[in-house]
Amino acid sequence: MPNISFYISDDKFDELTGLPALTHRCAELCTGILQAEPDKVHIIYIAIRNGRGHPVYAEVCYRLEPHRTPEVMASFISDLEAVIQQEIGLMARIRCFGSAPSQIYSRN
């Protein structure tokens, strides 16, 4: 963790050329601000049929850690919003969900 899932409206998805740069910059945010290990960062893009709302929904799932304070997460969200706008030119709805390490069961 962290995992960032981008749900992008299918009518915008195919014309996006900034996804490689977005991936790189999101990974930098995760390893920088969130202090995640590089091999633990997971970023995916999913084309969706958008019913209503922003053309991009970004969902961040992360492990709760003492250094990931509300102030750190606010900085992360602000920077993530800016990076999304800079790299793909779209406004995103962003939601972050933290999980206690004792409640995370995973493989790979």
- pLDDT tens digits, one per residue of 60-103: 999 999 999 999 999 999 999 999 999 999 999 999 999 998 88
pTM comes to 0.93
- How far is Cα 6 from Cα 26, in angstroms, rounded to an integer? 11
Sign of the dihedral defined by the CA atoms of residues 74, 76, 79, 83, in that order? negative
* Fold (topology level) of 33-107: Macrophage Migration Inhibitory Factor (3.30.429)
Q: ω into residue 2 within 30 of 0, thus cis?
A: yes
Helix (H) or strand (E) holding 7: strand 3-9
